[in-house]
Chain A
Amino acid sequence: MSCEIIRSNVIANLEELAKSLGAAASGTEWHLFGSVNRGVPGASDIDLMIFCGSDAQADVLRHAIDPESLPLPLHLSLLTFNEAITINAASIQKSTVILRLAPIPA
């Protein structure tokens, strides 16, 4: 399987995962980085950062996301938007935003 197909499949799987989370994932931003994102041959895991609106949302997502549901092992980092901005996470990890989930109005 080509690197591009692997990347496309991983993104499709993550989109499906995000959809399955429903309101718990509303307002989050999903960043893919690392070997799958770079299209490195033989990528062995999925490096994913999810930027969350609050600590509580991050905790809920950690509990709700089942790493076994994905085709490759998931290396998941959950940060609040504030944390991500402070450490410049997206730029340092050279991540690609693959999903921006609309906030659900209160």
Chain B
Amino acid sequence: MATENPLPRLRDSDRIQRFAESLQYQSVRAREVGGIIVSNDMAKVGLVIMAVFVLTAIFAPQIAPHDPQERVILDDGTWVKSHPPSLEYPFGTTSTAHPIFSQVVYGTRVAFFMGLLTSAIVGGFGTVVGLVAGFYGGRTENVLMRIVDVAFGVPFLPFIIVLIMVAGGGSILNMIIAISLITWRNTARVIRAEVVSIKEQPMIDAARASGASNRRIVFYHIFPKVLPITLLYSIFAIGWVIIAEAGLSFIGLGDPEVISWGKTLNMAHVNQALSNELWFWFVPPGAAIVLFVMSAYLIAQGVEEVVNPQLREY
């Protein structure tokens, strides 16, 4: 009978003590993982760049001298159009007299919003699917992995474009949902493979022999082990969403309300910045995208050393 437990019932004080011990263990492990990540030089550089972006996002109103949505109009009523970079306008102005520096600075906030939300959705959903498929196996696994196969069978950008057209145009949320709807496939596949191999370890048999339930095994024994992989693929998702949003905005499917880096590139393209030689209109937002995504991927280098210890240098 399922209710009959051969082990003596735990008292509440024991439970609390056990919980405290497990918390302590997890925090020691987290510090270990953090140490491995930070000891990687690439990750260090990535963290520094990312910190600069964090500060830029927080202090955007103090850093940007102008409002990104407002035209720069002088006291005598003239528009400051296509102004090359200067001290007053660090990245110059657009042909519609918008300050490019302010657009790039405020774009940082959009990038963080998209990056963090997408990585949370992709990491959460992909990990749950991977855990369930890998742990329960059988028909559940079969059905879930066929869905993953379908997600791998669609061309990434074209599918997102169709989804956004069907949703009636791009808003930041639409884009995040559409991109997450595809990118969870990577997390799910990798987590499943890892869970299948962890499941074979004697430690799981030991846990089961001492009476642990399925749920306890999944949450206390398997989940902490796959967490670095979740983290790794969530960081990758930040890169994917930033680049995909830039592309979608570039072809005119972006959020009309939001000035993202991709949107600035779109405006530059639409207003012939190229043939008018306004390089300062499309170089800074692109460089911001590259730096942002690159800092995420550099941090991922450190996380990869946690996931794949063979990469570590001693």
Chains A and B form a bound pair: no
B interface, CB within 8 angstroms of A: none
A interface, CB within 8 angstroms of B: none
